[in-house]
Amino acid sequence: MKLYYWLRFILFTFVFFLVAACKKGKGAICRDGWRSHSTGSGTCSWHGGVDYYLDPDEIAIGRTIGLVVFIIIVIFVIRFIRKVD
pLDDT level of residue 21 (50, 70, 90 thresholds): low
Say whether 30 sits in a helix, a strand or coil: strand
pLDDT level of residue 70 (50, 70, 90 thresholds): confident
Q: Is the pTM of this model over 0.85?
A: no
Q: Note the pLDDT tens digit of each residue in 32-68.
A: 998 888 888 889 999 999 998 887 777 677 777 777 7
Enumerate residues 6+ apart whose C-beta is below 8 A from 56.
23, 24, 25, 26
pLDDT of residue 50: 92
Mean model confidence pLDDT for the chain: 79
Q: How many CB atoms lie within 10 A of CB 32?
A: 11
In this structure, which amino acid lies at residue 46?
W
- Domain extents in the chain: 1-23+60-85, 24-58
Containing 12, the helix (H) or strand (E) segment is helix 2-21
pLDDT of residue 32: 93
